[in-house]
Structure 1
Amino acid sequence: MTPLVLALDTVGWHDIVNFDNYGELLPIVRNSLIAGAVLGLVGGLISVMVITRDLPFAVHGISELSFAGASGALLLGASVVVGSFVGSLIASLALGVLGMRARDRNSIIGVLMPFGLGLGILFLALYHGRAANKFGLLTGQIVAIDNTSLTVLLVTAAAVSVVLLTIWRPLLFASVDPEVAAARGVPVRFLGPFFVLVLGCTVAISIQVIGALLILTLLVTPAAAALQVTASPVKVPLLAMAFAFVSMVGGILLATGTSIPISPYVTTLSFAIYVVCRVIGRLTPSRR
């Protein structure tokens, strides 16, 4: 037998997967289900612009500083949500001020990422509270969303959605052809940093649910999957939102009945959707 099979035999499948009292557990994760559904819709929408503007690396960089802010707040006994926002805003402002060109942006992110991750690890090493709090900031938790955190998440998600829908057309124009957009009077230099700021807010509210290390599965993979099957400017955002919604809510529902964290379920569902879309895109290239 392999070590994994031996370990499972020792622990017992029932200790890992147990849906006996599943109905009683669902009310406990009610806030997380609402948060996951909202994050799926907002994350899927913003992922389209992340892919269009070639910002996956930026998402990871912002998440590292958001993680540092959240872990610092945890160490100080302050609000983890506020700490996440502070870290994300610092990263977003740094990207907006220091450079939005691809070469400058990647260099800045390459500097910010290890600094943010190292700072976050330092704060967690100094924190002597529950280990689950440390682990949750990296990989997410399904019971970490209290009523206050949920309210902040809903308000922020609503604001992000309104802003995105307001600037969607000029932002898309500036992303696809910035020179022509600038000539037509679109404020290209303003839209770039402003979108990164909006992206930072989305990352901040996602940390508690999905975790800092796996944020890309929410803000990149949905749009990448949608673009495998269609290039329609209407269908891509709708599909991306649907894919992210299924991944988040499905991951939380699966994790509720097991002792495994939420992140493996969300990432696996998201990756499976991407693979299926890629196969469909290969078999039916005329749809793209």
Structure 2
Amino acid sequence: MNWDDIGEALWGGLPYYGEILGLVGNSLWAGAILGLVGGLIGIFVMQRDMAFAVHGISELSFAGAAAALLIGADVVTGSIIGSVVAAAIIGLLGSKARDRNSIIGVLMPFGLGLGILFLSLYNGRSATRFSLLTGQIVSVDQGQVVWLSAIGLVVLAGLVLIWRPLRFDSLDPQSAAARGVPTTAVSLVFMLLLGLIVAVSVHIIGALLVMALVVTPAAAAMRVATGPILVPMLAAGFGVVSAVGGILLAVAGTLPVSPYITTVSFLIYLVCRIIGRPAERRARIKGNSREIVGAAA
């Protein structure tokens, strides 16, 4: 095969790619919104050291979606119910990090076990069951994208309303409480918003890999930037690129959407980690120098 044959094969597939792409327009819009909101809320997930909580919520979200699939109800609704219940339990009972980790460690296997039980009782298509774990592309119809977009906008609006007290509570909870910030209420609202975005992310990327849209973009942004404006902008941008880029790549392949989204997200994080390493080293050296000067004084 010469280069002309290769070029013809590549360009000849473009019309078919365009036709397939037309089938996933709804998913592209949903993925863009989820990537945007997931990147923004992920900043506070990282600041509050709650990456483990995202996985715990996704397990009960998976159980709720599997239960809805079993009884013939809307999968997104079941996923939202499971996520909100998990988020409320963690927010109310897990005020301390040690308690929160214990609660999450209990909820995760329980939710996963329930989900597997419901899927084993489901007699429908095996691909439908598998999609709850790995995500799905063409199944997002016009009505669902409206719901997904609406939920994403609700989470975004909620974040904007509590942004300042949430940021204060995330960076210095003791000082926030002393200044009169209602830390318990702020934490509970944040957990409910997190539960909503996890629920809708499960429908796109699957229950097992939801952290690729909620945690990884924010972790990447915090590696290369600082400040209350630049970090959220980068995190949101990384989330959109991961979601939309993963869906575009998945359309051209035969694998589920989740491996593509997680790979794009991981590569962004890897590049940011490499870029941010010199700055991190300089900050460490600067900090050590200050300690030496302080000790000498």
Q: TM-score, normalised by structure 2?
A: 0.89
Counterparts of 1:229-268 in structure 2 under 5 Å? Answer: 229-268=224-263
Residue of structure 2 equivalent to 1:97: 92
- Please tell me whether the aligned partners of residues 49 and 172 of structure 1 are also in contact (alpha carbons under 8 angstroms): yes
1:108 aligns with 2:103: yes
Please point out which of 13, 24, 29 is paired with 1:29: 24
SS at match of 1:111: helix
Counterpart of 1:162 in structure 2 is: 157
The equivalent residue for 2:219 is 224
SS at match of 2:255: coil
> Of residues 203, 206, 213 in structure 2, which corresponds to 1:208?
203
Given candidates 263, 277, 282, the residue that maps to 1:282 is 277
**Could you tell me whether the CA contact under 8 Å between 1:229 and 1:287 is conserved in 2?**
no
Distance across 2 between alignment mates of 1:101 and 1:78 = 36
Question: How many aligned positions are there?
Answer: 272
Is 1:49 matched with 2:54?
no
1:127 positional shift: 0.7
Which residue among 181, 184, 194 is the counterpart of 2:179?
Answer: 184
2: CA distance between counterparts of 1:210 and 1:87? Answer: 17
- Structure 1: 5+ residue runs without aligned partners? 1-13
Secondary structure of residue in 1 paired with 2:209: coil
Q: Deviations over 1:213-272 (max 9, x none)?
A: 000111100110011111212111100000010010000000001111111111111010
Cα deviation 1:163-212 (Å, max 9, x = unaligned): 10111111010111111111111111111111111100111111110100
CA distance in 2, matches of 1:261, 1:20: 21
2: CA distance, partners of 1:129 / 1:287: 56
In the alignment, structure 1 residue 88 sits paired with structure 2 residue 121? no
Tell me which amino acid in the other structure corresponds to 1:123: F
Matches within 5 A, 1:126-137: 126-137=121-132
State the superposition RMSD in angstroms.
Answer: 1.5
Q: Among the aligned pairs, what percent are the same residue?
A: 59
Supply the distance in 2 between the matched residues of 1:281 and 1:91 (Cα, whole angstroms): 35
Alpha-carbon distance in 2 for matches of 1:170, 1:97: 18
Q: Distance in 2 between matches of 1:163 and 1:138?
A: 28
1:287 to partner: Cα distance: 8.8
Match of 2:294 in 1: none
Give the distance between the partners of 2:272 and 2:94, measured in 1 at CA.
Answer: 34
CA deviation after TM superposition for structure 1 residue 20, in Å = 5.9
Per the TM alignment, residue 38 of structure 1 is displaced from its structure 2 partner at its CA by: 0.6
SS at match of 1:186: coil
Report 1:111-150 matches (<5 A). Answer: 111-150=106-145
Q: d(CA) in 2 for partners of 1:121 and 1:235?
A: 41
